[in-house]
C-alpha cells in the first residue's frame, strides 16, 4: 500500500490548517483521473476529483484550528508541528510506502522529523513539489484543499459576511479584518493571533491598510 500526505492552509491568518493522507494499493486509478496539484485546478474540478478519490482510497484527515496552531507555536516551529501531524496520519494508515510534500527547505531534515515521530518504519519519500510529482500526493492535496474550502465557507456563514480565503494576500480577507477590528476592537473568531498580520492588525487598521505582511514565519 502507498500513501501520500499534503496540507492546505499552512499560511493563512484566518482558518484552520488541514492535512490529508490518501492511501491506495496502486496509483493507477489516480493517474487515470489525471489528479494534479490542487492549486492548478479550479474549485469545481477539485470537488469532482475529491468525490472520485474518496471512492477508491482510504483517507485520514487532521483539522487543526487556529487556536491550536497558536498554542503549538509557543512550543515548536510550524515545520516540527506539521511533521508530527504528517506522522500521525501515516501511523493511522500504516502504508508500506509514504510520499510527502516537504515543508522544510531541507527535504532530508523534514523526512527525519517525520520519521522520528513514527511508531514503525515505512519507506518514506520526502521532496519539494511532491504534489506535482506523485499522484498519491496530488490526491492528498486535493482532499486537503477541498475540505479546507468547505470549512472556510462554514466560517463565512457563521460570521455572516465575506471573509475571503483567509490569506493575507487576499484583499477580501484584509478588508474583513479591517472592518471587524474597527467595529469590535478585538480579533474575529478563527484568527491565528500568533501570526505577524494578526499581531500588527490592531495598529495597522487604525493607520493604514494591512498590506503584504508575511503570515508564515
Quickly count: other Cβ atoms within 10 Å of residue 214's Cβ: 11
Predicted confidence at residue 139, as pLDDT, reads: 96
pTM: 0.89
Instruction: Please say whether the structural domain 160-207 has been given the CATH code 1.10.10.460.
Output: yes
Mapping DSSP onto H, E and C, the string for 3-35 reads EEEEEECCCCCECCEEEEEEEECCCHHHHHHCC
Phi-psi region of 46 (alpha: psi -120 to 50; beta: other; left: phi over 0): alpha
Instruction: Please say whether the structural domain 2-154 has been given the CATH code 1.10.3720.10.
Output: no
pLDDT at 212 over 50: no
CATH 1.10.10.460: which residues of the chain? 160-207
* Averaged pLDDT, 22-31: 94
Lowest mean pLDDT among 39-53, 123-137, 190-204: 190-204
Checking DSSP bridges between strand 97-101 and strand 123-127, what pairing results, if any? parallel
Predicted confidence at residue 185, as pLDDT, reads: 80
* Averaged pLDDT, 134-142: 96
CATH 3.30.420.10: which residues of the chain? 2-154
Number of H helices and E strands in the chain, helices first, is: 9, 5
Query: Which of 41, 88, 45, 80 is CA-nearest to residue 63?
Result: 88
Instruction: Note the pLDDT tens digit of each residue in 155-200.
Output: 999 999 999 999 989 999 988 988 898 888 889 999 999 988 887 7
Amino acid at each position: 500500500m502507498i500513501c501520500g500526505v499534503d496540507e492546505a492552509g499552512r499560511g493563512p491568518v484566518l482558518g484552520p490548517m488541514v492535512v490529508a493522507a490518501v492511501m491506495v494499493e496502486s496509483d493507477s486509478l489516480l493517474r487515470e483521473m489525471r489528479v494534479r496539484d490542487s492549486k492548478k485546478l479550479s474549485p469545481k474540478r477539485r470537488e469532482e476529483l475529491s468525490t472520485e478519490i474518496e471512492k477508491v482510497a482510504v483517507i485520514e484527515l487532521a483539522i487543526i484550528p487556529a487556536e491550536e496552531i497558536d498554542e503549538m507555536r509557543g512550543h515548536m516551529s510550524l515545520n516540527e508541528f506539521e511533521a508530527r501531524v504528517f506522522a500521525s496520519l501515516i501511523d493511522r494508515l500504516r502504508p508500506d510506502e509514504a510520499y510527502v510534500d516537504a515543508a522544510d527547505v531541507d527535504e532530508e531534515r523534514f523526512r527525519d522529523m517525520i520519521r522520528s515521530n513514527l511508531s514503525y518504519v515505512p519507506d518514506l519519500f520526502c521532496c519539494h513539489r511532491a504534489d506535482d510529482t506523485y499522484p498519491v500526493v496530488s490526491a492528498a492535496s486535493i482532499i486537503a484543499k477541498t475540505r479546507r474550502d468547505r470549512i472556510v465557507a462554514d466560517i463565512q456563514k457563521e460570521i455572516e459576511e465575506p471573509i475571503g480565503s483567509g490569506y493575507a494576500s487576499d484583499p477580501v480577507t484584509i478588508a474583513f479584518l479591517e472592518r471587524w477590528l474597527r467595529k469590535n476592537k478585538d480579533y474575529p473568531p478563527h484568527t491565528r493571533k500568533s501570526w505577524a498580520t494578526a499581531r500588527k492588525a490592531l495598529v495597522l487598521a487604525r493607520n493604514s491598510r494591512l498590506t503584504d505582511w508575511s503570515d508564515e514565519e
